[in-house]
């Protein structure tokens, strides 16, 4: 992965990420758009009828009325069947997601929730149903071309277009849902999300100015939960206006409870409460918005489930190790640990503690190493991954890799009594057993 430089967070980045974790926002916006589209189509239909009546083209208008009456049967069928179709499709999908969460990890459910194709499909399905109801309300009992007020011609064409989009999205959605049940696409999605987090990480030297003595602390108020993300831009602005340095005490992903400190103030007084409002977001679970370690956490969870005696799927663990090594190889030379956010003048205004290199290595390998006894496939892949990282790592970052390799050798020597089997298990192989 090439270093493309630090990409500052967007002003609405936290709000955007929170909305992506919901399933109601996209359908709600779809309802608004459908209603606006219906109003516009109604105006066009009324104008078409008025135009034909002004031109006294009653025969042509009668043909349009006949066409719209024929289309009414199709619209009625769509309206009555669409909601049933929505229920069946998403019931099957929820069963598939439940199977995937049981086979891999419950954390994969967030992939379904954040999936754009899932939200787009639901939005178009519901939009088609709502639009069909609105179109049915536009039909008149009057069929005399001289007295008719509105003929839902454009509306009928639009509902047919929405129906076609629904069928196309249904095929795409089923394909995407089936991929969610496969290990490869899931771990690939986790890795890609982790690289997006890397794209938002500060680059370059992270040297800090002297913080000075701690003068105050800000306590957490509100519900207990996981620290999911921090609005760094808001905190930097608040610290600059108060001419202080703020230090985030918990890490992203830590569980915080009311009354515990979340921010330490250095060099002055606490910024006003309104400037700190909504700067720290707490939720019921972690996300990958700012949490690089969460990607490795998910991969490790999937690997551990694959290595459990109940599942006994070492190939899944090997696929997870592939992606863990890929992520670690991408960060092996990047600055990690404490991050210093600066204002426009270049002064440090926010200090944020993050996972260091050793933390990430332990997260990726420690628990898996404890469970590899009896699985030479995973042992060989783990040895190959550590050897690859030792080739890439600078000298100061080789220590945790050497430690894990030595502990793996000790584990094999302790659990594998036959010398030939030990030699086989410790032979590096990127496919496990190719």
* Model confidence pLDDT, tens digit, residues 11-51: 556 677 777 777 788 889 999 999 999 999 988 888 888 88
pLDDT at 421 > cutoff 80: yes
pLDDT at 205 over 80: no
| Confidence at residue 55, expressed as pLDDT on a 0 to 100 scale | 79
What is the per-residue pLDDT for 149?
75
In the chain, what percentage of residues exceed pLDDT 70? Answer: 94
Q: Does residue 95 carry a pLDDT above 70?
A: yes
What whole-number distance in Å separates Cα of residue 110 and Cα of residue 101? 10
> So what's the pLDDT on residue 102?
76
CA-CA-CA-CA torsion sign (246, 249, 254, 257): negative
Query: What pLDDT does 11 receive?
Result: 52
Q: Beta strands 348-352 and 245-248: pairing type?
A: parallel
List Cα–Cα distances, 73 to 78, 129, 132, 136, in angstroms. Answer: 9, 15, 11, 10
Dist CA 432 CA 428 (whole Å):
8
Residue 357 reports pLDDT greater than 80: yes
Q: Measured between alpha carbons, how far is 328 from 324 in angstroms, rounded to an integer?
A: 6
Query: pLDDT at residue 131 above 70?
Result: yes
Query: Kind and range of the H or E element at 391?
Result: helix 376-392
pLDDT of residue 207 exceeding 80: no
| Of the ranges 78-82, 189-193, 359-363, the best mean pLDDT one | 359-363
Q: How far apart are CA 39 and CA 154, in angstroms?
A: 11
Residue 27, classified by CB atoms within 10 Å of its CB into exposed (0-12), middle (13-18) or buried (19+), is middle
Residue 289 is given by DSSP the state S
Residue 13 is predicted with a pLDDT of 62
Q: What is the share, in percent, of the chain residues with pLDDT greater than 90? A: 36
For residue 410, give Cα distances in angstroms to 225, 370, 426.
39, 11, 11
9 closest CA partner among 275, 197, 239: 197
As a whole number of angstroms, the distance between CA 431 and CA 318 comes to 7
Stretch among 73-77, 102-106, 153-157, 229-233 having the lowest mean pLDDT: 102-106
Least confident window among 93-107, 291-305, 350-364: 93-107
Highest mean pLDDT among 47-56, 177-186, 264-273: 264-273
Intra-chain end-to-end CA distance of the chain, in Å:
26
Q: pLDDT at position 14, please?
A: 65
What stretches of 7-57 show up as alpha helix (H) in DSSP? 13-20, 25-54
Is the pLDDT at 75 greater than 90? The verdict is no
Supply the Cα-derived Rg of the chain in whole angstroms: 29
Which pLDDT belongs to residue 70? 78
Q: Is the pLDDT of residue 144 over 80?
A: no
Question: Taking residues 196-223, what's their average pLDDT?
Answer: 75
> Residue 406: what pLDDT?
95
Buried b (16+ CB within 10 A) or exposed e, 77-93: ebbeebeeebeebbeeb
**Residue-wise pLDDT tens digits, 282-325:** 888 888 888 889 999 999 999 999 998 888 889 999 999 999 99
SS3 content of the chain, % helix, strand, coil (to 5): 60, 10, 30
């Amino acid at each position: 992965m090439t270093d493309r430089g630090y990409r500052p967070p967007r002003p609405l980045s936290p709000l955007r990420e929170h909305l992506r974790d919901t399933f109601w926002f996209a359908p709600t916006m779809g309802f608004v758009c459908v209603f606006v589209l219906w109003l516009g189509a109604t105006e066009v239909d009324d104008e078409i009828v008025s135009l034909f009546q002004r031109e006294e083209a009653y025969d042509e208008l009668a043909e349009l009325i006949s066409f719209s009456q024929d289309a009414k049967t199709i619209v009625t069928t769509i309206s009555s069947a669409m909601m049933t179709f929505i229920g069946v499709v998403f019931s099957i999908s929820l069963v598939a997601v439940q199977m995937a969460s049981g086979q891999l990890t419950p954390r994969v459910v967030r992939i379904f929730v954040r999936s754009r194709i899932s939200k787009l499909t639901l939005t178009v399905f519901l939009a088609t149903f709502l639009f069909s109801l609105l179109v049915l309300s536009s039909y008149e009992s009057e069929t005399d071309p001289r007295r008719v007020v509105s003929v839902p011609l454009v509306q009928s064409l639009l509902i047919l277009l929405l129906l076609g989009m629904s069928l196309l999205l249904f095929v795409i959605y089923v394909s995407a849902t089936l991929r969610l049940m496969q290990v490869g696409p899931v771990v690939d999605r986790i890795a890609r999300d982790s690289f997006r987090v890397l794209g938002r990480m500060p680059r370059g030297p992270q040297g800090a100015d002297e913080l000075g003595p701690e003068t105050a602390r800000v306590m957490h108020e509100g519900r207990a939960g996981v620290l999911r993300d921090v609005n760094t831009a808001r905190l930097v602005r608040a610290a600059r206006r108060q001419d202080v340095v703020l230090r985030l005490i918990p890490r992203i992903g830590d569980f915080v409870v009311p009354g515990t400190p979340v921010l330490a103030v250095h060099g002055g007084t606490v910024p006003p409460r309104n400037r700190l409002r909504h700067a720290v977001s707490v939720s019921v679970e972690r996300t990958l918005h700012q949490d690089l370690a969460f990607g490795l956490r998910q991969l490790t969870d999937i690997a551990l489930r694959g290595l459990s005696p109940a599942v006994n799927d070492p190939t899944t663990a090997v696929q997870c190790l592939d992606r863990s090594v890929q992520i670690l190889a991408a960060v092996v030379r990047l600055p990690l640990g404490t991050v210093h956010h600066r204002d426009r003048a270049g002064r440090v205004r926010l200090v944020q503690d993050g996972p260091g290199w050793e933390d990430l290595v332990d997260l990726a390998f420690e628990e898996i190493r404890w469970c590899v006894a009896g699985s030479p496939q995973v042992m060989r892949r783990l040895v190959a991954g550590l050897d690859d990282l030792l080739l890439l790592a600078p000298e100061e970052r080789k220590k945790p890799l050497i430690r894990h390799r030595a502990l793996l050798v000790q584990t094999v020597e302790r659990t594998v009594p036959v010398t030939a089997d030990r030699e086989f298990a410790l032979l590096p192989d990127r496919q496990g057993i190719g």
